[in-house]
Chain A
Amino acid sequence: MALIFGDLAFLIPTVPIVGAFIALFFGKFLDKKNHGNLVALIGLGTSFVLTLLVSGEVVLRLLFEGHVDTPFLEEEIIHENLIQWFNVGDITVNFGILVDPLSAVISLMVAFVALLVAIYSRSYMSHDGSPRYYAEISLFAAAMLGLCFSPNFIQLFLFWELMGVCSYLLIGYFYDKEVVPEGQPHPASASKKAFLTTKVGDVFLFIGIILLYIETLNAGHPTFNFLEIQHLLHDGLIHTDPTLFVVIALLIFGGAVGKSAQFPLHVWLPDAMAGPTTVSCLIHSATMVKAGIFLIARSYFLFEHDLMHAAGDAMLVVALIGGITAILAGTIALVQTDIKGILAFSTISQLGYMTIGLGVGGMAVAVFHVINHGIFKALLFLSAGSVIHGSGTQDIREMGGLQSKMPHTWKVMLIGSLSLAGIGNGFFSKDAIILHAINRFIESGNMLLLLVWLSSVITAFLTAFYIFRMWFLVFPGKSRKPEHHAHESDSWMTIPLWSLAIVSLVLAGIYLIGNIPVLNIELLPILNIEHQLVTWLEPEVSLVIENSLIVMTQFSSIIIALLGIGLAYLIFYPRSDAHVSFTKDDPSFLIEVTESDSITNIQKPLRSLTRTIKLSPLGRGLQRILEKGYYIDDLYLALVKFVDTKYCAGMYWIERNVFDKAVRFVGQIGFAVCGVSKWWDEHIVDGLVRLTAQVSVAVCSLAKATDERVIDHGIIRGSAKRVMLTGSRLRRIQTGVVENYALYTLVGAITLILVMIVINGV
C-alpha cells in the first residue's frame, strides 16, 4: 500500500522556499514589527505539519505494521516520485521526491527544530532581525528538508550547495560589525571561511558522484538515483576495481568531512558562531553539519558493499576520522571560554561520534545520534542564546550566578547538558555507538579500531567534564559581572526551550521504556527505538552483540559520565563569590581559594593541584596548544597566505611580465619592422626616386642647356646670324655696277660649263 500522504512530500521543502521569497520581497510589509517573522513561522509551521503527516505516517507504519523482509529498504514504505529533469546522451537526471525511513526520521527532527528556531527568533532577533534573515533561515531549513527527500545525487548536491550558500549568508549576517570580540573572527571572514572550507569537501563529493555515475554507466545502467545504484550493487552488476570503489566511497565521504566539520576540515565550524546564535543553532543541530552524516547514511550501501566484497578500508578510514575528530574537538572544548565556542567544539566532537558510528557499521545508531543530538544541541544553543541575550556577554568568565536570574534557562540548560554528558536521551545513542565500536573491534581484531573505541570512551568523559564546567561556571554562585543586570528572556524564547527540553525528556522516557539500560529489560519492545531504527534502516544487517558486552558498556558509560560531571563539580562548583575579573594572561582560569569559599575538603587540594598543573610549563604549553586548536588553523592560514601572496601573485607577475610583455614585444617587433620599412622607404626607395628625379633633372638641365646653348643659341639664333652675316657680306656684292654683274654672270657660266664637262665625264 502506498503512503497516504506521500504526494504531499514535495511541499515540505517547497513551502518554506516560497516563504523565503515572500519574506524577502514582502517581509517589509507583512508583520512589519517583527521583520517578517510571521512569514517564516507560517512557512516552517506548514512544513512541520506536512512533515508530521508524511514522515509521521512512515514512522507509525514502520512501528505498527511490522516490516517485510525485502533485501532493500522496505519497498512498501518507500515513496518515489520522479520526473525527468534533463537528458543528454546517456545522462539522464531526474528531479523528485524520495520518502523512505531514513528521510522520514531525519526530516521530523529538522522540521521541528527549524520551526522552534523561527519562533525563538521572533524575540531573540527583535532588534537585529530583518526580512533577509527570515528569508535565509527559511531557505536554509528548506534546503535541508529538500536534501532529506532527494532521490538522487544531483538533487542532493543542489540542496547541499544551497545550504552552503545559506550558511554563508547567515554566518555573515552581522557583516557590518565594527568591533568583534577578541579572538573571534569577523563575520564576513568567518562566512567566507565556512563556505570555502566546505567547498573543498564539496569538490571531493562532486568528483565522487561523477565517478560513481561512470561506474553505473559501465554497468550499463547509467543513473544517479540512490535506489537504482543500490539495486545495481545488490545485483552485482557493478564490477569495479575494489580500490577504485574505496576511492569513490572516500570521495563521497570527503563531502561529509567538509559539511560535517570532521578533521581536517573542521576549522570552519567554530568560526561559524560569528552569526546569530539562532543560526548557530540551526547549523549545529538540524541543518548543515547533519547533512554530511545524512549523506553517508544515504550512500551507506557503498560502504557496506566495500565491507562485504573487499577489505572495508573505506569504513575504517571513516571510523578513524571520526575517532580523531571526537577526541580532538573534545580536548579543545576544555579550554574554551566562549559559551558558543564550547558548544561549537562539542558539536564537532559529537559529529565525530556519529562518524565513528558510521565507520563501525552502525549506520542506524549514527542516525539515532543525529536525532538525539539535534534535539539536545538545539536546546543547548537556544539556551546559550538566552543566556547571551539575558547577560549581555558570551564569555563564561563574566557570567556566574545566573541561576537566580534566569529561572527557566538554567533548568532547560541543565537538561541539555545532562543529555550531552550522557545522561538523558543522548545516552542511548552515544552508548550504542561506543558499543558498536568495541563490538566491531572484537569482530575484526583491528588495533586501529581499538583506538577509535578508546577515543570514544575518553571523549565521553571529556564531554561530561567540559559541558558541566560550562554549566557550573554560568549558573551557580554569584555573578562576576553584576553590572550586567541579567534577566530572563520572554516567552517567545522560553517556550521553544521548554518544548525542546520536554521532547528531550520524553524521548529519554520512551527509550527507557523500550529498553532499560544495564538491566537490559524491555518493558515495551516496540519502543526500543535503537533496535527499531536498525531494522528500518539496515534490514540486511543482523548484528548479534553479546549481552554481557552490552551491559558492561552501558554500565561503564554511566560511570564515565558521572565521573566527568563529578570532576567538573569538584573543580568548578561553586565558583568563588569574590568579584574577580579574569585576565586573559592567566591560563589557570581558576580563582585563588579563599576561606570564604564554601568548598569541601576534597575540593581544596584538588583545586590546588589543578592550579599547579595548569601553571606548570607543560600545563601552559598544553593549554596554549589547545587554545590554538592544535595549530591547524594557523597551518591553513599559512597555506592560504602562501597561495595568495606567493603563488597567485607570482602568476599575476607572469601575466604582466611574460604574457603582456610578450604581446608588447611582438608589437614592438611590429613597430621595429615598420621603423625599418620607414627607413627603407625614406632612404632607399625615396633615395632612388630622388636619384631618378635628380638624374631626370640633370638630364632635363642638360637638355635645357642643349636647348639654350646648342639649339637656341647655336642653331636657331646661329642660323639667323649666319643669314644676316651672309646677307651683309652679300650686300657688298650688290654694288649696282653693271660691269661687275656681267662679270659674275660670265664667271658663273664658265663654272657651269666646266662642271657639266666634268660630270659628263669628258
Chain B
Amino acid sequence: MGCNPLKKKKVEDTMVALFTFGELEIGVLTLIFLLPVLAAFPTWLIGRVRNDFSKYFALIISSIVMLLAILAWMMFENNSLLPASLHADRTLLATGGWSLTEDIAWIASIGMNYSLGVDGLSLPLVMLGGFIFVVAILASFNDINEREPAYYAMILLLETGVIGTFVATDFIVFFVAWELVLVPMFFLIGIWGGPKREYAAIYFFIYTHVASLFLLLGIIGMWLQTATTDAMVLTGLSSGTFSFQQMTYLAQNLVGGFGIELPVLLIFLALLFGFIVKVPSVPFHTWLPLAHVEAPTPGSMILAGLLLKMGGYGIMRMSGWFLPEALSEFAWLVAIIGLVSLLYGSWVALRQVDMKSLVAYSSVGHMGIILLGVATQTEAGFAAAMYMMIAHGIISPLMFFVAGTIGHSADTRDIPKLKGIAKQMPITAAVLVFGSFASAGLPGLAGFWSELLAFIALFSMEATMTIPVIGLTITGSAIALIGALGIIFTAAYYLWMLQRTVFGDVNPELKHAHDVSHLPQYLTLGLLCLFTLLLGLFPAFLIDLMSTASGFFASMF
C-alpha cells in the first residue's frame, strides 16, 4: 500500500489542530507547565474516592507531561516526523534567543509578562524533569503508603514548580516557580519523611527561603539595571523589564554589557548566592544531607535529580545570558567554590554512615563540576556543566532509589550494619554497583563525559582568574590538577561503601531483607539504568541538543 498523500495531509492537519493550540495562543510549554498544577487538586479529589486512584492518575498526568516534553523536543529539533507547521522557529537560538516562545502581557507597566520558552540549555532539563517525575511517581508506588491522595497532589504541584523554573523566560514567572517548589517539598519532607522530618523540613525551608530572598533582591537589581536610560532606549520600553529576552539583548548590545560596576557585581553576588544554596555548594550545603536523609525516597530522587539542577541552571543562565562580564570578574570565586565542593564533598562522603547521606555528599562533589565548567567560560566547560546536570540528574535518583530500597527492605541504611546484601538482594546490589561506577565517572556511562570535558576545559582555559585584594592568580590547570584528586576520592568512597555493603558474608540480622519484586520498582531501576547507559554511549544526542546554547555561551566571553 503506497502512501496516500491525501490521507497523509489529513493526518498532518489533525496533528496540527491538536498541538498548535493556535486559537488560544497556548503553546505546548504552557501545557507542560500548568497541566500538573491543574491536575493536583483532582488527584487529591479522586484519591478521596479510592486511595489507589490518585497514584495512577498522577502517573498518567506525569506521563502526559513527559510525552509533551518529548513533543516539545521534536518541535524544537524540527523533527521530520512532525508536520512543518509544528516546527519551532530556531532562528534566534544562535544569538541567545528562545524557541517555542509564548508571551502574554501580565503587568505591562513594570515590564512583567507571562512568557515561556526553551533553548538548548533549558530543553534538556525540561525533558529530564518530565522523565524524573514519572520515575519518582513509579518509585512512590511501593514506598508511600499513607495519605496517598495528598502526597501525589504535592508531587504534581512540585512538578509545575520545577518545570516552570526551566521554561520561564521572565524573571517573575521564574521566581514564582522557584518559590513554588519550596512548599510541596516542605510538606513532602515534613509529612512523609523520616524520624527527624519536621526539623529537616523547617531547616530546608528556612535555609532555601533565605537564599530566595537574596535571589529576589538580585532580580529587582536586574530590573533596575534594565530601567536605565541607555537600556530603555535599546529596549524601547518605558520601564525596566523582567524579560530574559530583553536582558540578553541588553547584555549583547549595551556597550560593555551590564558592565562590572559595583551594583552589577553585587547583583551577581546576590543571584549567585541564591543559586548556590540550591546547587548546593560548600559552604552552603548543610541542608542537603539532612533533607536527603529525612525525605522519603521519591522526594530524595526529585531533590537530587531536579531541585539541585535549578541552582545549576540559574548559574548557567545568569552567567552566560545576562552577566558574562561579572562572571569573568568572579570566575575565581566560582572556580574555587567548585573545586572546594568537589574535594570537600568527596572527603566527607568517605566518612558517612548513612548511605543516603553518602550519596548526598557525592552530589555536593559532583555539582562542583558544574561550577568549574561555568568558571572556564568556554564551550567545553559549558558542555561539561550541562552534561553533568543531566547525567547527575539520572544517576543520583538511581542511587537514592537503591539506597531507599535497601533501607526499606533491610530496615537500615547504615553502612556498617549492612553486609553481604549481594546474597539477599542480588538485583539491588547489582544496580548499586552499576550506579556507583556510573557516579564515579566510568567511561561508557553517563558520568564520564562531563568529567572529560570539564578537565579539557580547565586545562585549555586561557582566561586567567585573579583573586582581588591578595592578587593571587590561579590558572585552570592548577584547579584541574588539584581537582583530579577528587576522581580518586570519589572512586574510593564508592568502592569502600560497596565493599562494606554489597560484599562480604550476609549479616544474620538482614536475613529478612528481600529484593525488589514489584513491576514499578523494576521499571524505575530499568529506566534509570538504561538512560545512564544510553547517555554514556551516545553523548552526541545531548551535546547536539545543547550545541546552540553552548556555542552562544562561549560567544559571550
Contacts and interface: CB of A to CB of B under 8 A. Distances in A.
Interface of A: 84-91, 93, 154, 157-158, 160-162, 165, 168-169, 172, 175-178, 186-189, 191-192, 195-196, 199-200, 203, 206-207, 210-211, 213-214, 217, 644, 647-649, 651-652, 655, 659-660, 662-663, 667
Contacts of A93: 539
Contact of A157 (B378, B443, B495, B506): B443
A88 B443 contact: no
Given A176-B423, A213-B456, A158 B443 contact: yes
B439 to A, nearest CB: 13
Contact of A648 (B286, B350, B484): B350
A175 B206 CA distance: 45
Contacts of A89: 378-380, 383, 550-551, 554
Q: Nearest 9 A-B pairs (CB), nearest first?
A: A188-B503, A89-B379, A175-B503, A158-B443, A86-B540, A652-B351, A651-B347, A648-B350, A86-B539
B484 A199 contact: no
Contact of B351 (A189, A206, A648, A660): A648
A199 B491 contact: yes
Chain B residues touching A, majority SS = helix
Contact of A188 (B460, B504, B539, B547): B504
A91 B449 CA distance: 12
Interface string B472-513: 000000001100100110011001101100111110000000
Interface string B349-362: 01110000000000
**Residue of A89, A188, A649, A667 contacting most chain B CB atoms (<10 Å):** A89
B543 interface: yes
Contacts of B19: none
B543 A87 contact: yes
B34 interface: no
B202 to A, nearest CB: 10
B420 interface: yes
B427 to A, nearest CB: 12
Contacts of B378: 89
Nearest to A217: B460
Contacts of B379: 88-90
B259 to A, nearest CB: 27
Contacts of A178: 505
B495 A648 contact: no
Nearest to A198: B491
A656 B379 CA distance: 37
Nearest to A162: B444
A158 to B, nearest CB: 4
Given A648-B350, A651-B344, A175 B504 contact: yes
Given A89-B550, A176-B423, A189-B499, A206 B455 contact: yes
Contact of B456 (A187, A192, A214, A652): A214
A302 B300 CA distance: 48
Interface string B411-447: 0000000001011000000000100010000111000
B123 to A, nearest CB: 17
Contacts of A644: 350-351
Given A89-B379, A161-B442, A659 B285 contact: yes
A638 to B, nearest CB: 16
Contact of B460 (A88, A176, A214): A214
A206 B484 contact: yes
**Residue of A189, A191, A192, A196 contacting most chain B CB atoms (<10 Å):** A192
A85 B456 contact: no
A192 B452 contact: no
A416 B448 CA distance: 41
Nearest to B495: A192
Given A89-B383, A162-B443, A175-B503, A662 B283 contact: yes
Chain A residues touching B, majority SS = helix
Contact of B539 (A85, A169, A200, A663): A85
Interface string B531-552: 0000000011001100100110
**Residue of B347, B352, B437, B505 contacting most chain A CB atoms (<10 Å):** B347
A210 B380 CA distance: 13
A142 to B, nearest CB: 12
A649 B491 contact: no
Contacts of B448: 158
Contacts of A85: 539-540
Nearest to B536: A158
A89 to B, nearest CB: 4
28 contacts: A85-B540, A87-B540, A88-B543, A88-B550, A89-B378, A89-B550, A91-B380, A160-B443, A161-B444, A162-B444, A165-B442, A176-B420, A188-B499, A191-B503, A192-B499, A196-B488, A196-B491, A196-B495, A200-B488, A203-B487, A207-B484, A211-B459, A648-B348, A648-B350, A651-B347, A651-B348, A652-B351, A652-B352
Contacts of B484: 203, 206-207
Given A89-B380, A158-B444, A210 B350 contact: no
Given A158-B444, A196-B495, A662-B283, A655 B383 contact: no
A189 B306 CA distance: 35
Contacts of B423: 176
Contacts of B496: 192
B453 interface: yes
A651 B380 contact: no
A88 B383 contact: yes
Given A85-B540, A192-B495, A196-B492, 6 more contacts: A86-B449, A89-B380, A203-B488, A206-B484, A207-B484, A655-B348
A163 to B, nearest CB: 11
A667 B206 contact: yes
Contacts of B286: 655, 659-660, 663
A160 to B, nearest CB: 8
Contacts of A203: 484, 487-488
Contacts of B214: none
A207 B453 contact: no
B207 interface: yes
Contact of A199 (B460, B487, B499): B487
A72 to B, nearest CB: 27
A210 B443 contact: no
Contacts of B352: 652
Contact of B348 (A88, A172, A652, A663): A652
Interface in B12-61: none
Contacts of B505: 176-178
B265 to A, nearest CB: 24
Contact of A206 (B487, B495, B540): B487
Given A188-B499, A203-B484, A649 B444 contact: no
Contacts of A651: 344, 347-348, 351
Contacts of A161: 442-444
Nearest to A186: B504
A238 to B, nearest CB: 15
B453 A91 contact: yes
A85 B540 CA distance: 6
A200 B491 CA distance: 10
A162 B348 CA distance: 27
Contacts of A162: 442-444
Nearest to A178: B505
Interface string B314-340: 000000000000000000000000000
A599 B543 CA distance: 75
**Residue of B433, B488, B495 contacting most chain A CB atoms (<10 Å):** B495
A161 B440 CA distance: 11
B481 A207 contact: yes
A89 B461 CA distance: 13
Given A88-B383, A88-B550, A647-B347, A210 B539 contact: no
A624 B424 CA distance: 42
A207 B480 contact: yes
Nearest to B544: A86
B374 to A, nearest CB: 15
B388 to A, nearest CB: 14
Interface string B377-406: 011100100000000000000000000000
